[in-house]
A and B are shown apart, each in its own frame.
Chain A
Amino acid sequence: MLNYTLRRLMFTIPTLLLISFIIFLILDLAPNDPTGNLPLTIPPEVREKIRQSLGLDAPMYIRYLLWSQQFFINEPLNLLNQWFGWCIGDCEGRLRVSSWATRSPVVDLIAERMPQTLWVVGMSYVVGILIAVPIGVISAYKQYSWFDQIGTFIAMIGFSVPTFFTGVLLIVIFSVWVPNDSFFWLPSIYDTTLEVVDWDSFMLQVRQMIMPVMVLGLFNAAQISRFMRASMLDNLSQDYVRTARAKGLKEKTVLLVHVLRNSMIPVVTVIALGIPQIFGGAIITEQIFKVNGLGQLLIIGIQGADIPLVQTLTFLFAVLIVLFNLIADVLYGLLDPRIRYE
């Protein structure tokens, strides 16, 4: 297993390098301009100078190599410096990957946004799983019962109704209709500057997370509960379940120990494969509730043609996707004794 993992990891390096180049190429070919969103009062000559100062006059391969050097060499060195205080080479003057819009290191921007994305999107994933697993289990166990029918209906809605609809609907209900001073009122705008220091601020944090987490959670739950149900149904009809019943086990044990544990194998891998999406943020939901996480960072970067930001973010997503594919494979091997990687 270890050998397998190491071998797979080794193969990811050329893959990721290729991906980074392709992303760069696509971004470069796309017709966009970082000065495009500036007010028209800034004259064209000045725009040209701005573009030059951003290094846009250099040929494409030079810019790619520059980015590669900044990202693959300078950024890790900088991390070493920040985390351990190790200083290798020029620690002060080292050029890091910088956003064109904010003129600050992209990695710092990402680090700044990580908490709210992980809190909101990550929590919604957890909530989604917590809702989905019991629904999936019960739906499968009582197939075609009213519970199953309602579960299917809700999953269909959660799956097909876009988050920009459910999000705005919730805002209209809980922020607009419900009066401000009511206990049920929820903020429509997420305060990223809120620091949780005591019970009150914790409650504020919980309140502002409820709507975005529920909107995304419903969507995630819809997806995962379907997987869960299908997987449970697969296993429920297996002979080993009959064996377990014949052993005289309690129905709860049969369901939770035998069927659920086996049904979780494919579901766990599906969940693992979905984790990179958490880091990718939920662009639309983040926009609606102004969570301003990684998704919003990406969309602003795209709108403003902030190439280094978009390049770095997209590449990190690519890394996560490749990584979690590997993790899903390894998990599968760990969970299912029938699978062995050599």
Chain B
Amino acid sequence: MLDDKKPLVQVQDLKMHFPIYRGILKRQVGAVKAVDGISFDVFEGETLGLVGESGCGKSTVGRCVLRLYEVTGGSIDIDGTDIATLSGAGLRAKRPEMQMIFQDPQASLNPRMTVGSIISEPLDEHMKMSKTEKRERVGELMDAVGLARRFADRYPHEFSGGQRQRIGIARALALNPKFIVCDEPIAALDVSIQAQVVNLLEDLQEKFGLTYLFISHDLSMVRHLATRVAVMYLGRLVELGDSETLYLTPKHPYTQALLSAVPHPDPAQAGNVERIILEGDVPSPANPPPGCTFSTRCPKAQAICKQDSPEWREIGEGHFAACHFIE
């Protein structure tokens, strides 16, 4: 079933290391390995969920995939073009195909621009359109995200959080992208609004045939939305698989621990799930532990885990994981 889908995005061995400078001369003394060699594909029309704890590097992955950072290594193939090595005009030409919806709708909108100009700015940059055409396009986009057209002349601060996120979505849609990275798009919103925005995203996906990389720490929301889910820990993927499979039969100890923390919809069954409590803190990505990065907290860790990094391998159909002990 997955075979007939072709991947829109192919990420190979992506690395993003942020250098650390110290001292008077600001010499580089090390690097924060925010993303340290991860690979995944996103198929056309699907939603790939990317989950993990805060600071695991999932937002960095999102930004790298859209080349908002200069990546340290690896390739990012979007619709047949490796954007990891593109720069300047070439990269800008590719921008319309890929867009991002940000976590904080307040901060991600320029406070001194009206909603209309925020949405139409990419049109100025990438399309040749007359003024009236642009106005019309802005109107359409506002309709599409459920904003009244008369709000076009207002400033972002005059809107509520949910409305602002709609503006952000409209802006992302302006150039008819194929691929959208949603970087925790609902984390900053009230719970009552979250569902509206998620529904909107789903509607839009259907309507425009969008492909999402949905980054979130909200496991239930990802389960609801995502076709497939990738789990990330300390700059690496630990497990990736079909949403249903992964939620029902998590293989990696970290995934198991994560999922055990999700409140069960049925309180009667909640008692049956044993909650796995992880010991210790997440190690610093500037100085990750040798071997398996999860070994310091893994309840199943053995000697080998401290020495060898587990291989990223397919353990079932379309189900990948990185652990020495998965059969």
Contacts and interface: CB of A to CB of B under 8 A. Distances in A.
B17 interface: no
A151 B157 CA distance: 35
A247 B122 contact: yes
A47 B125 CA distance: 78
A240 B95 contact: no
A304 B188 CA distance: 66
B89 to A, nearest CB: 9
A102 interface: no
A261 interface: yes
A247 B112 CA distance: 17
A90 to B, nearest CB: 54
A247 B121 contact: yes
B258 interface: no
B26 interface: yes
B100 interface: yes
Given A144-B21, A249-B121, A338-B155, A242 B108 contact: yes
Contacts of B172: 246
A242 B21 CA distance: 23
A63 interface: no
Contact of A242 (B26, B63, B92): B63
A136 to B, nearest CB: 18
Nearest to B122: A247
A230 interface: no
A144 B24 CA distance: 10
Interface string A37-59: 00000000000000000000000
Interface string B269-290: 0000000000000000000000
Contacts of B125: 247-250, 253
Interface size on A, as a range, is 20 to 34
Contact of A240 (B92, B93, B107): B107
A258 interface: yes
Nearest to B92: A248
Contacts of B94: 248
A244 interface: yes
Contacts of A247: 95, 99, 121-122, 125, 171, 175
B214 to A, nearest CB: 16
Interface residues of B, number: 32
A239 B108 contact: yes
A238 B107 contact: yes
Nearest to B154: A337
Contacts of A243: 100, 102, 108-110, 168, 171
A245 interface: yes
A316 interface: no
B169 to A, nearest CB: 12
By secondary structure, the A interface counts as helix
Contacts of A33: none
B189 to A, nearest CB: 15
Contacts of A244: 110, 121
A210 interface: no
A239 B91 CA distance: 20
A246 B62 CA distance: 12
Interface string B51-80: 000000000000100101000000000000
A242 B95 CA distance: 13
Nearest to B168: A243
Contacts of A265: 112
A337 B110 contact: no
Interface string A222-260: 000000000000000011101111111110010000100
Nearest to A253: B125
Nearest to A249: B125
A68 interface: no
Contacts of A261: 112
B96 interface: yes
A108 interface: no
A336 B126 contact: no
A7 to B, nearest CB: 24
Interface of A: 144, 238-240, 242-250, 253, 258, 261-262, 265, 335-338
Given A249-B125, A250-B125, A337-B155, 4 more contacts: A242-B68, A244-B110, A246-B68, A246-B100
Closest 7 CB pairs of A and B: A248-B95, A239-B108, A239-B107, A337-B155, A247-B122, A240-B110, A338-B157
30 contacts: A144-B26, A239-B102, A239-B103, A239-B107, A239-B108, A240-B109, A242-B100, A243-B108, A243-B110, A243-B171, A244-B110, A246-B99, A247-B95, A247-B121, A247-B122, A248-B91, A248-B92, A248-B93, A248-B125, A249-B92, A249-B121, A249-B122, A250-B92, A261-B112, A337-B111, A337-B112, A337-B157, A338-B111, A338-B155, A338-B157
